[in-house]
Amino acid sequence: MNAKDRLLKEKLVIIARGIPADKLVRCCEALLHAGVCCLESTFDHLLDDPIADNVKKLEAVKKAFGDQICLGVGTTLTVDEVKAAYDAGAEYVIAPGTNLQVMRETKRLGMCSIPGAMTPTEICHAWDEGADIVKLFPADDLGMHYIQNLKGPLPHIPLMATGGVNPNTIPQFFSHGINAVGTGVTVLKKPFIAKDDYEAIEAFARQHMEAIRLWEKENAL
């Protein structure tokens, strides 16, 4: 199963931002125990070398879990970041906006491209340029009615919502036409990571997955 199909099947991507490599591996173990397998490790552009920082994390996760984790990168802004992600074993590239150079390099390397967009024009542009999935960002600022209106004329474009995703809103997002969701702060909470409380991370991840599976059951998917 390729990355796009896996993401759309699992429907949940956990976003890891600013977590040291050793702790990120422990987080991934907790996520897997909860039934979550899709992870986005973001580039931190406040660092002097965001590429080296993220490559270390990607390689650590890949070494520990191999294909158990469907591994991608986020906040991807440059072609060099795409290349580094590919070399480190990432399968998909997520970005906050639609950078055509980033998208084209992602596709050239055979990875799944998930650029960010907000308006119908931006979403259509990203799709026409080869996006596999379009990230609707920030989804919580737009609202469910906006999403419903988008999906009316654009049902063929898979959308991933980030922003405002939690167990309570997950059924609403899917009921209004969203195909996958991404969240970090509702699962990888800083206090839990600081205290190495991976049981709590597992519990919160499980709540998100249960919300998804319950929605699927209720909608006969």
- In the chain, the domains with their CATH numbers are 3-216 (3.20.20.70)
DSSP tally for the chain: helices H, then strands E: 11, 9
DSSP class of 43? P
Tokens, residue 193: 């990571």
DSSP class of 133? S
> Which of 69, 70, 76 is CA-nearest to residue 42?
76
Task: Show the DSSP H helices in 88-218 as ranges.
Answer: 100-108, 120-128, 139-142, 144-151, 170-175, 190-194, 198-218
Kindly report, residue by residue over 79-130, the tens digit of the pLDDT. Answer: 999 999 999 999 999 999 999 999 999 999 999 999 999 999 999 999 999 9
Q: What amino acid occupies position 60? A: A
Q: Kindly give, in sequence order, each residue whose CB lies less than 8 Å from that of residue 39, ignoring residues fewer than 6 positions away.
A: 13, 14, 16, 28, 31, 61, 69, 70, 71, 72
What is the Cα–Cα distance from 101 to 109, expressed in whole angstroms? Answer: 12
Tokens, residue 201: 């991370």
Predicted model pTM:
0.96
Element (H, E) at 79: helix 79-87
Q: Can you give the pLDDT of all 221 residues of the chain as single tens digits?
A: 899 999 999 999 999 999 999 999 999 999 999 999 999 999 999 999 999 999 999 999 999 999 999 999 999 999 999 999 999 999 999 999 999 999 999 999 999 999 999 999 999 999 999 999 999 998 999 899 999 999 999 999 999 999 999 999 999 999 999 999 999 999 999 999 999 999 999 999 999 999 999 999 999 86
Is 148:121 a contact under the CB 8 Å cutoff?
A: no
Other beta carbons within 10 angstroms of residue 32's beta carbon come to 16
> Which of 32, 126, 18, 22 is CA-nearest to residue 71?
32
Q: Kindly give, in sequence order, each residue whose CB lies less than 8 Å from that of residue 67, ignoring residues fewer than 6 positions away.
A: none
What is the Cα–Cα distance from 183 to 139, expressed in whole angstroms? Answer: 11
